[in-house]
Structure 1
Amino acid sequence: MAAEGDFLLRYRAVSNKLKRRFLRKPNVAEASEQFGQLAKELKQEECLQYAGFCNLAVARCEQTLFNAPGEALALTDAARLFLQAEKETQKLQCPGFEEHLQAATNCYSFAIKVYIELNQPVMAASLCLELGNALKEMNKPAEASVHFQRAAELQSQVPIECLLSLGKVATCKIITRAFMDVIARCEVSRVLLLMLLQPPPQKLLLEHAQTLEKYDWESFDSHSQVNYLPENIFLLLQSVVMACQEKDLESLKVLQVELWPLLTPEQNHLLHLVLQEVLSPSGRGV
């Protein structure tokens, strides 16, 4: 049985067989078979990422042999192994950079490309759906929707399947929109808190300064920087920032009336405190 410790030794031994020697062609088919066997042993020992690398080596061998179906199959096996490795990492809550997920995504993409070249859109679409479902399970609806959309495009000749894939796209869009709503609420609260605290410029953190810059009247197309906010709320917040900078209490009172039905109770309380701060003789100004 293969062990994680001797993986590199065995991998290199097989790789060396692929080197060209004088008057001898490398036996690529034999190397492919040996890489495949090593992958099976590593998978049994739950060394998933190493098994994935071995399947990638199989795919390269099959490409050299001009065996596109074999290449696509090996790429798919590698993708699934890397994906399983990523799930195990997340399950254990280990810190990482999602490198296994990136490897899986790349393998799926290459396998999809091979199936498209083989004029097998159904197989390509099934892999798009497989990757999309995995990403959705990992709370990555935005990334998942891209692959569901591609599946729908590949299923143009099968309307029912295409509609089902588009339904998955719609679901991801709805979930993503919910995430955007959370971001939007945080943005409004952040701006109101900054107006309440009014930190002097020399004590203003860079991230807070960048937040306020987005609401500068002189910024070009500043709404594009916060497109997760409805334009009417953005413009009202922009006016609040300007009114606070000018200590324009009357304008703030008008803005409070307009914003009241658009904000949460907590945000309305913050806005009320902002008005009190501006009204107070000790108001510091931003």
Structure 2
Amino acid sequence: MMATDGDFLLRYRAVSNKLKKRFLRKPNVAEASEQFGQLAKELKQQDCLQYAGFCNLAMARCEQTLFNASGEAMALTEAARLFLQEEKDTQHLKCPGFEEHLQAAINCYSFAIKDMNKLGEALVYFQRAAELQTQVPIECLLSLGYVASCKIMTRDYDGALAVFTEMQLLAQEKGLHTPGNTVPVGAFLDVIVKCEVSRVLLLMLLQPPPQKLFPEHAQTLEKYDWEAFDSHSHVNYLTEEVFLLLQSVVMACQENDLESLKILQVELWPLLTAEQNHLLHLVLQEMISPSGQGI
């Protein structure tokens, strides 16, 4: 007999209630995890893949509470498979949708990979996801952002620079524009800003020699040249404060001015993402102790 929404919700809530804290009684998280897993198996057998995926997510939360990283990762991976299969079935039936099951699958894979610290495997999944999402630019950019992050965490800074460059061009091309404005708006503008800042920091970290500097990277650095006339007009998607501070970072790196860079790091810290602050820290460390990094 196929599960109905009501049957599923009643059983799901019954298990969830066991996790509620009661006076002088600790919830049996291990038992709840097992029951969520059993419910997920039953729903999977009945082809209720979306509901089975939700049960696996609940199971993953239980395993997280139990500090069982491998169990959490396994539950998340199974949830990702179920959501992905649900998305394939939906597309096969040509049902309209917003690819929410695909996004759920990507998120599950992302969390599972973080638990298991499998960055190489993550990169492959996110790259493939980006290829499948070419018709949905903003989702494609999100997946590419994960690719860039994986490359940074695996110290492939050349690769990260290439991905951020690709993302910036894609956001510029596919972004929504207001009449008479060449700069995209909304989420696409956010992507362009993130990519611009990250690319400048990566270029400062890599310090490629002029003969190995790609034209697209040379054009980026030219915008931050102190001798360029009204440079900020060419980077009008950044606030003036961020632009001037980045321009100062470029100059400090070119002059090998460690003390100025330390001051700039403090000023930029609240204006950057955690990943960008990590890159700026690496730039500072590279100046203190050069490793011969280059493109």
- TM-score w.r.t. the length of structure 1 is 0.52
2-structure distance, mates of 1:45, 1:128: 33
Query: CA offsets, 1:155-213, max 9 Å, x none?
Result: 34xx7xx99x77x959x769959x94xx69xx9xxxxxxxxxxxxxxxxxxx9xx53xx
- Paired AA for residue 50 in structure 1: Y
Q: Does residue 132 in structure 1 map to residue 127 in structure 2?
A: yes
CA drift of 1:74 comes to 1.4
Q: Give, in whole Å, the separation in 1 of the partners of 2:127 and 2:45.
A: 26
Secondary structure, aligned partner of 1:57: helix
**5+ residue gaps, structure 2:** 193-295
Displacement of 1:28 in angstroms is 1.0
Matches within 5 A, 1:1-286: 3-5=3-5, 6-115=7-116, 120=117, 123-139=118-134, 140=136, 141-156=140-155, 169=163, 176=170, 180=173, 211=179, 214=180, 222-225=181-184
For the Cα contact (< 8 Å) 1:33–1:58, is it kept in 2? yes
| Contact kept in structure 2, 1:129 and 1:147, CA below 8 Å | no
Contact 2:77 2:108 (C-alpha < 8 Å) held by counterparts:
yes
In structure 2, do the counterparts of structure 1 residues 155 and 174 end up closer, same or farther at CA, with 3 Å as the change threshold? same
What is the SS of the residue equivalent to 1:46? coil
Counterparts of 2:66 and 2:76 in 1: how far apart (Å)?
Answer: 15
How far apart are 1:29 and its partner, in Å? 0.6
SS of 2:47's partner is coil
- 8 Å CA contact 2:119–2:154 kept in 1: the answer is no
Offset from partner CA, 1:245-276 (integer Å, 9 cap, x none): xxxxxxxxxxxxxxxxxxxxxxxxxxxxxxxx
Cα distance per residue 1:20-59 (max 9 Å; x no partner): 3343322111110111111122122221111111011001
For 1:174 and 1:43, the matched residues in 2 are separated by 40
Contact 1:86 1:98 in 2 (8 A): yes
Matches of 2:123 and 2:42, distance apart in 1 = 28
Q: Is the 8 A contact 1:75 1:107 kept in 2?
A: yes
**Equivalents in 2 of 1:175, 1:87: separation in Å?**
29
CA distance in 1, matches of 2:168, 2:113: 26
Residue 231 (structure 1) aligns with: none
One-letter code aligned to 1:155: T
Partners of 2:170 and 2:109 lie apart in 1 by 23
Structure 2 distance, partners of 1:100, 1:9, is 23
Say whether the 8 Å CA contact 1:20–1:26 is kept in structure 2.
yes
Cα distance in 1 for residues equivalent to 2:184 and 2:9:
48
Distance 1:36 1:68 in 2: 16
Between the aligned partners of 1:92 and 1:224, the Cα distance in structure 2 is 38
Where in structure 1 are there 5+ consecutive unaligned residues? 188-206, 215-221, 229-286
SS in 1 for 2:97: coil
Measured in 1, the distance between the counterparts of 2:168 and 2:41 equals 40
Cα distance change, pair 134–66 in 1 and its aligned pair in 2 (3 A): same
CA deviations 1:54-96 (Å, max 9, x no partner) are: 0110011111111122112212222222222222222222122
CA contact 2:15–2:36 (8 Å) conserved in 1: yes
